[in-house]
Amino acid sequence: MFLGIDCGTQGTKAIVLDASSGKVLGEGSGAHHMISGANGRREQEVQEWLDAFEQATAAALKQAGISGAEIKGIGVSGQQHGLVMIDERGQVLRPAKLWCDTESAPENDRLLDYLGGEAGSLERLGIAIAPGYTVSKLLWTKEQFPELFARIDKILLPHDFLNYWLTGRCASEYGDASGTGYFNVRTRQWDTDILQHIDPSGRLVNALPELIESHQPVGRILPAIAERLGLNPEALVSSGGGDNMMGAIGTGNIAPGLITMSLGSSGTVYAYADAGNVSEQPSVATFCSSSGGWLPLICTMNLTNATSAVRELFTLDIGAFNAAVASAPIGAQGVLMLPFLNGERVPALPHATGSIVGLDSTNLNQANLCRAVVEGTTFGLRYGLDLLRDSGIQSANIRLIGGGAKSAIWRQIVADIMDTPVVCTTGSEAAALGAAIQAAWCRSQTDGADESLQALCERCVSLDPASETRPVAEHVAAYQAVYQHYRNQLQGL
């Protein structure tokens, strides 16, 4: 029995996996709240993560009908790029700045200039740093909270922090480390020079966690935490990883030939690669995977956050919202939404705001606005998928995950806009499943059983045939013109 945790933006999810049968026996969740500001601030109190971790774990164990003493390992997936700073007493210094925080965009611009622009960043790090990455959050903290900055003893990503809470050890694995902006994805080492540029004292370099391989454990759970969570004190905590890396494992995307697309708070598209061939496109992040290879990825900042905003504006439940989307025609009678409520990363428009264009007296209605926000967010994913395809990534189908994937009409819209069949996995929590599978892999390696990650994925990841959705030829043709209209609007920005 293995526990998989996914600490996301909106909440923490937990699953209990029977790695022998490949079945998920129980699920649980706990909610988080966002600290938001009009200046782009997006932060969370990390204590909420710990409370939600405990709540979600208890619910998953209860539903599974097992004792926590049966759990042999724990894997943690976390939202990428977030910054957790800890002092020498182990206390968190301030709320975590999240992946969707754009308050540090000016600092990112200055760091990008230091690196020689996007081309220089790609040459040096293998990625082009973006406002959501961790590195600019450090410079922002130094300038906004110098006294607090002087107390930094450890700098951790969200999943690293949860592993630290579980084990008392500070460690990071290559996949999640790839999104910091101070990690070289080619050499798989920290780039300490950029941290020395931010703070020549060496404080940040000394605060870095140890880097470990994906299959290596962080350690055993601390006795006090095992007691608090009701878990086996001998349970092993695996390296874990970023939510996209764990989502790749949870969809079986650990070999070339598959594309995973996530319809979550953010939208992501990624595919496994055996070699770290860095794309010339700055928007393609050639991150390391948490399975030994690389994971070329694009991420949009706006997806279900935008659709939820429109749904709540009309006080619609999800069923009524989907019905409204389905009742409007392709292209929403000329209504187009650029849903950049959090700025945008792909395309790179960190200072953009949302807009609705094409309104007139005949098309201003609820159904068209609902359809326009779904189409607008999906066009952003198409833009990113085109970049991945231009860099050589190919696939005959897309594995669709995230909350939006539960909507049949949205699945059809994705299939039509991408002109590619889509299918969902049977479990709804791909990142938590991937974390549990990785924990089973790690335990197997540690115990000398040496079961391969591929064998575990084949047993534990299954597809839902009822969700398979194929593109409709006339829909594909109709969307070509609408998507071109979207691209034309982007040129205006």
pLDDT digits (tens, 9 = 90+) for 10-48: 999 999 999 999 999 999 999 999 999 988 999 999 999
* CB atoms closer than 10 angstroms to residue 439: 30
Is 90 exceeded by the pLDDT of residue 144? yes
Q: Report pLDDT for 492.
A: 84
pLDDT the model gives residue 348:
84
**Alpha-carbon dihedral sign for residues 327, 331, 335, 339:** positive
Average pLDDT (459-481) is 97
Each residue's pLDDT tens digit, 390-431: 888 888 889 999 999 999 999 999 999 999 999 999 987 999
> What is the mean pLDDT of the segment spanning 366-389?
96
Q: What was the pLDDT predicted at 275?
A: 86
What was the pLDDT predicted at 342? 85
What is the pLDDT, as a whole number, of residue 81?
96
Q: Is 153 a catalytic residue?
A: no
Residue 266 contacts residue 300 (beta carbons within 8 Å):
yes
Percentage of the chain lying above the pLDDT 90 cut: 89
Which position has the higher pLDDT, 247 or 392? 247
pTM of the model: 0.92
Residue type, 493: L
- Tell me if residue 96 falls in helix, strand or coil: strand
DSSP letter string over 304-329? HHHHHHHHHHTT--HHHHHHHHHHSP
d(CA 207, CA 288): 22
Kindly state the tokens that stand for 344: 């945008």
Tokens of 411: 């699945």
- Distances, alpha carbon 383 to alpha carbons 18, 151, 299, 305, 356, in Å: 38, 42, 10, 19, 19
Question: Do 339 and 355 meet the contact criterion of CB atoms below 8 Å apart?
Answer: no
Question: CA angle, corner 302, sides to 300 and 307, nearest 5?
Answer: 140
Query: Residue 109: CB partners within 8 Å, gap ≥ 6?
Result: none
How far is the C-alpha of 443 from the C-alpha of 238, rounded, in Å? 8
Cα–Cα distance, 444 to 442 (Å, whole number): 5
Q: What's the rounded mean pLDDT across residues 374-383?
A: 97
Say which amino acid occupies 65.
G
Q: What is the pLDDT of residue 450?
A: 82
Q: In the predicted model, is pLDDT for residue 350 greater than 90?
A: no
Contact 146, 94 (CB under 8 A): no
- Asked whether residue 131 carries a pLDDT value surpassing 90, the answer given is no
Which pLDDT score, from 0 to 100, does residue 17 have? Answer: 98
- Res 322: pLDDT: 98
- Partnered with residue 24 across adjacent β-strands are 17
Arithmetic mean of pLDDT over the chain: 95
Cβ-contact 333, 371 below 8 angstroms: no
* Distance set, CA 307 to CA 192, 316, 350, 374 (Å): 40, 11, 19, 6
pLDDT on residue 349? 87
The whole-number pLDDT of residue 293 equals 93
Question: Domain residue spans in the chain?
Answer: 2-228+236-244
Class of domain 2-228+236-244 (CATH, top level):
alpha beta
Q: Find the mean pLDDT for residues 94-100.
A: 95
Q: Which residues contact 248 (CB under 8 A, 6 or more apart)?
A: 254, 260, 270, 272, 289, 290, 291, 295, 434
Q: What is the pLDDT of residue 277?
A: 87
Catalytic choice (6, 191, 243, 416): 243
pLDDT of residue 162: 98
